[in-house]
Structure 1
Amino acid sequence: MSLYPGVALITGAASGISQATAVSFAREGCTKLVLADRDEAGLARTQQLIVQVAGEGKAAAIAVKTDVTSAEQVEALFLRAVAEFGRVDYAVNGAGVLSNNKRSHDTTPDEFDRINVINYRGCWLTSRAAIKQMLSQDPLPTHDGRPGVRGSVVNIASQLGIVGRPAAPAYCGSKAAVINMTKCDAIDYSRDAIRINSVCPGVIDTPMTQPNASVLEPAISIAPMERMGTAQEVADCVLFLASSKASFVQGAAMVVDGGYTIN
C-alpha cells in the first residue's frame, strides 16, 4: 500500500520547496494533488514535473491560483479541493517571503505587515482551513495497520523561527509565530486525530534565495555542513511528517539546516 493514499494540498507550489514537495508526493505514489500559488505559470510547470515523475495519466494535479493572505481565496481553494477529490489528507503550507533585511527602526509598518501577513497570517489561514476540513473526515488507513488520522498538516517555518540573526526581526518573528501556532494546534487537535507539525529549513537553494546569495553567505558559513540545502532535502522531511510513518510525531519543529542552530 502507498504511504500516501490520500489527497495532498500544497501552497507555494509554483517553485522552490513547495514545488519539490508536490513532485515528491507524486513520485512516492500520491495520485491526487492540489497545487496553490499566485504564479500560474509556475503552477503549470509543477504540473508538468508531476507528469514526468508519475507518468501520463497516473496522477491528477489541479492548479488553483490562490493568494494565501485572502481568507476568501483560501476558502475557495479548499472548496475546490473537496469538490474535486472529496477530502484533504496532507496539507503543506509553504507559501512565504524572505526577510526585508532591515533592523526594526528601518523597517516600515508596510514592510512588517507584508512579511507577517504572508508568512504568519497566510499560514494560519491555510492551516485553519485544512483543520476545518479534516475534522469532517474519517481517518485514512495506514501503510501497516497502525491507527490512522483524519489528516496531517505540515507548516513551513524556518531555522530563524528558532534563533535570531541581524536585520531580520519581522521575518524571524513571523516564523517563530508559525512554530508556536503549530504547537498550539497540535495540542488542540490531537484528540481529533489530526497531526500538525512544522519544518524549519535553513538556507536552501531555491529561486527565492538565489538572488540573495551574498547576503546569505554568512549563514551558510556558520552551519557545520557549510553549504546550502536543497529543496528536495526539505521535501523529504515534509513527506515523512505527512506520512503514517510519523504517527507519533506531533507538534514538532523539525530543523533541516545543516547544523546552523547547533552552533
Structure 2
Amino acid sequence: MFGPLAPSHLLTPAEFDDITATNYRGTWLCSRAELTYMIKQEPMKTHDGRPGNRGVIVNVASNLSLVSRSETPAYSASKAAILSMTRSDAVDYAKYNIRVNCVCPGIIDTPMTSEVSPNDPIISVAPMKRKGTPQEVADAVLFLCSSKATFIQGASLSVDGGYVIT
C-alpha cells in the first residue's frame, strides 16, 4: 500500500497507521505464521547435496527502503521496517536452517504504477529507463527460494533497473 504523497507534517496519523499496518505489520504477521510452521518441519533435500533448508521466506520491501524519495515517509518507513525485520529474522532463524531474504522492487508495471509515465524522472533516472515487469520480480523471488541460493541469508535484492545505484 503506497498511500497519499505527503510530507510527514501533512500525513494524518490514520494514514500513517493504515500504511504501516498493511505493509509492515501485514508482512510480520505472514512471516510469523510461516516461521511457526517451518521450525517444525524437516529440512528439505537439495538436488545436488547442498545443505537443505526447513524453509525460505522472501519478503517484499521496496527500493524506497534503500533510498529516499520526497513525500513518502510512511511508505518508505514501512518498507525499511520490512528490510530490518528480514535481517533480524535471518539472524534469529538461521539456527533452524530457515533462510530469510527480501526483494526490493522499483517501479513495476502494475495497476499501482499505471499513471507513472515512461518519461517520469523516477523511471528515467534508472539506468534501464523502464518499468520492471511482475515476472522479473517473481524471477528474483524464485532465485532466492531455489537451491542455487542456499548460502544467501539476510540479503536484500534490488529489482529496480539500477535505480538505487544512481
- With the shorter chain as reference, the TM-score category is over 0.9
Partners of 1:131 and 1:216 in 2: CA distance = 42
**Any idea what SS the aligned residue of 2:4 has?**
coil
Q: How does 1:1-263 map to 2 (within 5 A)?
A: 97-210=1-114, 212-214=115-117, 217-263=120-166
**Cα-to-partner distance string for 1:66-108 (whole Å, 9 max, x where unaligned):** xxxxxxxxxxxxxxxxxxxxxxxxxxxxxxx124211111101
Q: Give the TM-score normalised by the residue count of structure 1.
A: 0.61
- 1:141–1:148: 8 Å Cα contact kept in structure 2? yes
Partners of 2:119 and 2:39 in 1: CA distance = 40
Q: Give the TM-score normalised by the residue count of structure 2.
A: 0.96
C-alpha spacing 1:109/1:215, structure 2 compared with 1 (3 Å): farther
Partners of 1:187 and 1:215 in 2: CA distance = 39
- Structure 1 stretches of 4+ with a deviation exceeding 3 A read none
Amino acid at match of 1:192: Y
Following TM superposition, by how much is the alpha carbon of 1:208 offset from its aligned partner in structure 2, in angstroms?
2.0
C-alpha spacing 1:99/1:214, structure 2 compared with 1 (3 Å): farther
Aligned identity (percent) is: 57
Aligned residues, how many? 166
TM-align CA RMSD = 1.4
Partners of 2:79 and 2:119 in 1: CA distance = 17
Following TM superposition, by how much is the alpha carbon of 1:143 offset from its aligned partner in structure 2, in angstroms?
2.0
Structure 1 unaligned spans of 5+: 1-96
- 1:203–1:216: 8 Å Cα contact kept in structure 2? no
Structure 2 unaligned spans of 5+: none
Partners of 1:138 and 1:240 in 2: CA distance = 21
Amino acid at match of 1:220: I
Partners of 1:201 and 1:158 in 2: CA distance = 5
- 1:123–1:178: 8 Å Cα contact kept in structure 2? yes
**Cα-to-partner distance string for 1:37-61 (whole Å, 9 max, x where unaligned):** xxxxxxxxxxxxxxxxxxxxxxxxx
**Cα-to-partner distance string for 1:9-58 (whole Å, 9 max, x where unaligned):** xxxxxxxxxxxxxxxxxxxxxxxxxxxxxxxxxxxxxxxxxxxxxxxxxx
